[in-house]
Amino acid sequence: MKIQKLYPKHWLNYHPYKQTDDVDQYYTGIANQINRILHTIGVNEDEDGYANMSLILSAWFEDIISQTHIWETFTEECQKRYGARLPFYPIGTDYISDEINMEDVRFILWHILQRQYEGDRIINPENPGIRMAAEQIYALLSKEYETAPENKRMQAYFHAPELGPKDFLVYRKRLEWFHYQCYFTAGNQDELYDAIEEAQASNAIDDIEQLDILCYAQQVALPFRSRKNLLSLTSSEWLTRIWKRNGSKAGPWETVESLADNHYLYIEEDDSCIYLQSLCGEIKTFAVDKESLNLNQTRDLKPEQSIVSCMLVRYGETWWQNGAMLVNDKTPQWDDILQEQDHKMNPIHNRKAFEHFVQASAGKPFVYCRNKKELETFFREKMGYQIKKEVTLPEVEGSGALLMATPQTGLHIQLELIECICSPDNPAYNREEAEAQAFLFFVNPDVIPYELSCLLQDKGLLPDACINSLHGQQHGKALLQNNARFLTDYYFHRYREKDFKNPLLEKFL
């Protein structure tokens, strides 16, 4: 196979400037050497995949040499959350956090491959090809370590600029580059393309101008809300951590917060802000800076009559409209729209269902039902629910079903893989099936909601889960169990401190 040569123009895809210098030429050369190693071992199946892996690893090397502390911020966050600098690979006494380490190279290779094949396959972190490639790449970089040049431009870029309270758009531009082009967040452009395709399909948009608006809205929203980065932090959360790690002077970027798309009632305005009251979820009033608004759209706003649909981001002490904004008159037709959106955003319904379930199940994490009739009986007799005619319960066949609940998800009927849940209350439990398939509860959000995966883990109901290992089944079990939290966070794009912690659930546990 002819190996694609990488040029500085490819290298610039991971950098915020357009003109190359000798430093960029050097790291492009490193990327080409890495590319040859990867081709020799054959760790990928795609030529673009080889190129991206090579450029990302070279950019990581540049990060370490230049002390921009992107990777070190990640390993520090890993240490705080999981008690180790990296998942999967034992960290020896020779691991130095601000230098290159073979374990880092190995993990980066695994992560790049897993993002490339997201949704298609699970990459085994003990893959022999990954280990061989990591060893050779580490040997190459070790020889270059003492003489590799620092990138002064990247050092300056990863110190926060002096941003004032009105510099939201300047901040957002810096954040967009980090989200879509930094080596650390590689893969996020694919999510953008997928989000645009999905939104276009759901809205049946053919008009070019409308499509441009849709693309723009997705492009500026994802850096604030996407959770597909490592450790399931948003890019704004990562950039804040990196800037702080580099000793940047405090600024309004420290308090960035984004809200889900919502509908707001226009209340009033003054010289600097318009005031919007949320119509769904928690009812609050937001002062939105006029500099973030299309004034042509706001000119005809009517107090208590105009509905504004948009995404809001807090930057410093004020809120900024981010992306596309729609303005409509408040009419009776909006009642159903607002009710549906409020139901999605207001978790009180799920909390009540969870409380009813805990009482009906006598505190057990799940209730086993052999068939649909038993499911209906539990709802009616134990929970006191009346099943409406328009509600169709799923057919329960084979091994039966498990009824579960959390304050976040409400009620959940688990039909898949219930043989994997080890409990005396689950007559369908099968150890062989569990050893073969229980790992899916940790890596596949289509199997079970995140909160319920965490619940089953914390209750010790998935003891047989394992990763296939050349070192044997017991090693595979230990590998999975020791990295269970990381794996669940990684594949579900969630993390416990933000998505699982709940006083009601803690009592249940």
pLDDT per residue as tens, the chain (509 positions): 688 899 999 999 999 999 999 999 999 999 999 999 999 999 887 888 999 999 999 999 999 999 999 999 999 999 999 999 999 999 989 999 999 999 999 999 999 999 998 888 899 999 999 999 999 999 999 999 999 999 999 999 999 889 999 999 999 999 999 999 999 999 999 999 988 888 777 666 666 777 788 889 999 999 999 999 999 999 999 999 999 999 998 899 999 999 999 999 999 999 999 999 999 999 999 999 999 998 888 888 999 999 999 999 999 999 999 999 999 999 999 999 999 898 888 878 888 999 999 999 998 889 999 999 999 999 999 999 887 777 788 899 889 999 999 988 889 999 999 999 999 999 999 999 999 999 999 999 999 999 999 999 999 999 999 999 999 999 999 999 999 999 999 999 999 999 987 777 776 66
Number of Cβ within 10 Å of residue 109's Cβ equals 25
Q: At what angle do helices 450-458 and 484-492 cross, to 10 degrees?
A: 170
Residues 125-161 as b/e (b if ≥16 CB within 10 A, e otherwise) read bbbeebbbbbebbbebbeebeeebbebebbeebbebb
| Cα 205 versus chain centre, distance | 27
Using alpha carbons, list the distances in angstroms from residue 442 to 58, 110, 324, 466, 488: 31, 17, 36, 10, 5
Unique residue bearing structure tokens 């009824």 = 403
Note the pLDDT of residue 442. 98
Task: For residue 8, give the nearest of 137, 152, 180, 23 by alpha carbon.
Answer: 23
User: What's the pLDDT score for residue 1?
Assistant: 65
* Distance from the Cα of residue 351 to its chain's centroid: 24
Strand runs (DSSP E) across 290-398, as ranges? 306-310, 312-315, 318-321, 326-329, 366-369
CB count, 10 Å around CB of 45? 10
| pLDDT score, position 203 | 67
Tokens coding 337: 């729209």
Q: Give CA angle at 114 (109, 118), nearest 5°.
A: 160
d(CA 58, CA 63): 9
**Which 3 state secondary structure label does DSSP give 501?**
coil
DSSP 103-162: HHHHHHHHHHHHHHTTTT-PPPTT-HHHHHHHHHHHHHHHHHTTTPPP-HHHHHHTS---
| Strand partners for 368 | 402
Place of tokens 């980090």: 178
* b/e sequence 404-414, b meaning 16+ C-beta within 10 Å: bbbbbbbbbeb
- Looking at residue 204, what is its pLDDT? 61
Pairing of strands 366-369, 312-315: unpaired
Query: Which structure tokens are listed for 372?
Result: 């649909």
Q: Which pLDDT belongs to residue 501? A: 78
3-class SS of residue 217: helix
Q: pLDDT value at position 475? A: 96
